[in-house]
């Protein structure tokens, strides 16, 4: 992928503002996030927009500081609870209900169309055996303008269990609140062997482009869709069920601003790369000019922990890290 005009503009802005950007935006110089020899690495702008590991039990009221709980299920027959094993969302629809009943946690904040969304989502273990009953774990990214327009257009990724089997699907819901239609894009064959849990990463411009990864595998991509999702977007952590109690669970939920790290202060001619804790290369760029470097990250690895390696011709590489990074971070290399 070529570096976008937005990224290039940001790089140019960094070149003009230099070290002053940290003071201008935060009011004080940032603390170093890594150092080695004569060099220190500063983070002048953070790309992380939200990160909830959901690996610790907290009261529901604390979760509601960031999320709204809602759905078309009577709240007395639904729950959202943060446990040591994830954010659990569950429903117990009335037996006479023959259509899907759902409940969700949705962020109060909305995020720009450049954003990358990630979550580790799990369906309820085991299978829903009856063909008339359905359980779904759902991750959705929806236009945030529903309350204004009445449209609920959203990308949906679900793990569907029914008739003793599970399938994973990617699709698009569009229309008004009470008359939405589902468009199927991709899915797995129903099987008893489908995994209960997947790491899901999603990126869309809300108009024509959608890409979805399970782990580091790209399972769907198109730039010829006809979407009507006006940015900004809101992510939903959700459960749906028909005639059966069901629950889904979510961990490691994050949204980052984009898929690049921008670095200033790089010696001319130096190569830069980011490696993960296992030594794998996450992103790299050729020799820098003018002290600028832009590292493109695989979207599924747009948040993580890594070490920056800077190599000048004829010199040993300088390694800075490990540190936590996120797509959209602006970093600055400075001499001590």
Cα 330 to Cα 60: distance, rounded to the nearest angstrom: 34
Q: Is the per-residue pLDDT at 238 higher than 80?
A: yes
- Percent of the chain at pLDDT exceeding 70: 89
Q: Is the per-residue pLDDT at 157 higher than 50?
A: yes
- Total tally of structural domains belonging to the chain: 2
pLDDT of residue 88: 98
Mean pLDDT of 59-79: 95
Asked if 40 and 65 sit in the same domain, the reply is no
Mean pLDDT of 231-257: 97
Taking only the tens place, the pLDDT of each residue in 181-196 is 899 999 999 999 999 9
Taking only the tens place, the pLDDT of each residue in 299-325 is 999 999 999 999 988 888 899 989 999
Asked if 43 and 174 sit in the same domain, the reply is no
Q: Is residue 238 a contact partner of residue 308, using CB atoms and an 8 Å limit? A: no
pTM of model > 0.85: yes
Q: Taking Cα atoms as reference points, which of 218, 199, 222, 226 lies closest to residue 210? A: 222
Asked if 132 and 248 sit in the same domain, the reply is yes
Cα 101 to Cα 26: distance, rounded to the nearest angstrom: 45
- 130-168 as b/e: b if 16+ CB within 10 A: eeebbbbbbbbbbbbbbeeeebbbbbbbbbbbbeebbeb
Q: Is the per-residue pLDDT at 297 higher than 70?
A: yes
Q: Is the per-residue pLDDT at 119 higher than 90?
A: yes
Final residue in a domain of this structure, among 210, 225, 256: 256
Cα 81 to Cα 93: distance, rounded to the nearest angstrom: 18
State which residues form the domain around 13: 5-47+258-335
Mean pLDDT, rounded, of the chain: 89
Asked if 105 and 239 sit in the same domain, the reply is yes
Asked if 55 and 169 sit in the same domain, the reply is yes
pLDDT of residue 286: 75
Q: Is the per-residue pLDDT at 179 higher than 90?
A: no
Asked if 134 and 269 sit in the same domain, the reply is no
Q: Is the per-residue pLDDT at 270 higher than 50?
A: yes
Asked if 225 and 145 sit in the same domain, the reply is yes
Neighbours of 253 (CB within 10 A): 23
Give the range among 69-73, 119-123, 157-161, 177-181 with minimum mean pLDDT: 177-181
pLDDT of residue 27: 55
């Amino acid at each position: 992928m070529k570096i976008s005009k937005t990224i290039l503009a940001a790089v140019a802005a960094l070149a003009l503002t230099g070290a002053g950007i940290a003071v201008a935006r935060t009011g004080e110089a940032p603390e170093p996030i890594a150092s080695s020899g004569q060099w220190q690495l500063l983070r002048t702008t953070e790309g992380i927009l939200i990160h909830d590991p959901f690996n610790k039990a907290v009261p529901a009221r604390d979760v509601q500081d960031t999320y709204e709980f809602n759905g078309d299920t009577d709240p007395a027959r639904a729950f959202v609870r943060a446990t040591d094993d994830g954010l659990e969302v569950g429903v117990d629809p009335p037996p006479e209900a023959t259509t899907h009943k759902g409940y969700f946690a949705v962020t109060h904040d909305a995020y720009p169309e450049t954003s990358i969304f990630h979550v580790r989502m799990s369906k309820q273990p085991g299978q829903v055996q009856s063909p008339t009953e359905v359980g779904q774990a759902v991750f959705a990214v929806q236009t945030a303008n529903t309350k204004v327009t009445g449209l609920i257009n959203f990308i949906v990724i679900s793990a569907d269990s029914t008739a003793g089997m599970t399938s994973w699907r990617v699709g698009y819901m569009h229309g008004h609140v009470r008359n939405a239609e589902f468009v199927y894009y991709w899915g797995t064959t129903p099987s008893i062997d489908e995994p209960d849990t997947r790491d899901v990463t999603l990126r869309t411009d809300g108009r024509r482009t959608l890409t979805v990864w399970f782990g580091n595998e790209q399972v769907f991509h198109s730039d010829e869709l006809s979407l009507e999702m006006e940015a900004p977007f809101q992510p939903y952590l959700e459960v749906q069920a028909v005639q059966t109690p069901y629950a889904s669970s979510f961990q490691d939920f994050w949204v980052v601003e984009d898929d690049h790290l921008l670095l200033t202060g790089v010696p001319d001619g130096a190569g830069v790369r980011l490696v993960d804790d296992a030594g794998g290369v996450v992103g790299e760029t050729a020799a820098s000019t003018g002290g600028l470097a832009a590292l493109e990250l695989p979207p599924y690895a747009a948040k993580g922990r890594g070490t920056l390696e800077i190599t000048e011709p004829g010199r040993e590489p300088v390694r800075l890290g490990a540190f936590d990074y996120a797509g959209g971070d602006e970093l600055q290399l400075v001499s001590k």
